[in-house]
Amino acid sequence: MTLRLTTGEHVARLFIDRADRRNAFNQAMWEQLPELVLQAMADPAVRVLTVESAHPGVFCAGADIAELLANKDDAQWRAANQAAINRAQHVLARADKPVIAFVDGDCVGGGCGIALAADIRVATPRARLGITPAKLGLVYPLHDTKLLVDLVGPGQAKRMLYTGMLLDAHEALRIGLVDEIADSPGHLEDVIAANSLHSTSGMKRFVRRVLDGQADDDAETLEVFAQAFTGPDFLEGTSAFVAKRKPEFK
Mean pLDDT (the chain) is: 96
Q: What is the mean pLDDT of residues 65-92?
A: 96
Ramachandran class of 9: left when φ > 0, alpha when ψ lies in -120 to 50, beta otherwise = beta
CA-atom Rg of the chain in angstroms: 19
Give the bridge partners for 58, in sequence order.
106
Q: Is the pLDDT of residue 229 over 90?
A: yes
Predicted pLDDT of residue 201: 97
What pTM does this model have? Answer: 0.95
Q: Are 55 and 113 in contact (CB under 8 A)?
A: no
Predicted pLDDT of residue 99: 98
- Which H helix or E strand runs over 129? strand 128-130
pLDDT band of residue 207 (cuts 50, 70, 90) is: very high
Q: What is the mean pLDDT of residues 5-21?
A: 96
Q: Is the pLDDT of residue 43 over 80?
A: yes
Q: Is the pLDDT of residue 118 over 90?
A: yes
Predicted pLDDT of residue 188: 96
Q: What is the mean pLDDT of residues 168-196?
A: 97
Q: What is the mean pLDDT of residues 90-117?
A: 97
Angle, vertex CA 53, rays to CA 51 and CA 54, nearest 5: 120
C-alpha dihedral, 106 to 10 to 225 to 228, nearest 10°: -170
Predicted pLDDT of residue 250: 87
Sign of the CA dihedral running 212, 216, 220, 224? positive
Q: Is the pLDDT of residue 96 over 80?
A: yes
Q: Helix 197-211 crosses helix 219-227 at what angle (to 10 degrees)?
A: 160
Residue 52: Cβ within 10 Å count: 20
Q: What is the DSSP letter of 8?
A: -
DSSP string, 52-100: EESSTTEEE--B-HHHHHHTTT-HHHHHHHHHHHHHHHHHHHT-SS-EE
Q: Are 177 and 159 in contact (CB under 8 A)?
A: no
Strands 120-123 and 99-103, by their bridges, are parallel
Q: What is the mean pLDDT of residues 31-49?
A: 97
Q: Is the pLDDT of residue 1 over 80?
A: no
Predicted pLDDT of residue 213: 94
- Domains in the chain: ranges and CATH: 3-190 (3.90.226.10), 195-243 (1.10.12.10)
Give the bridge partners for 12, in sequence order.
7, 49
pLDDT band of residue 168 (cuts 50, 70, 90) is: very high
Predicted pLDDT of residue 9: 87
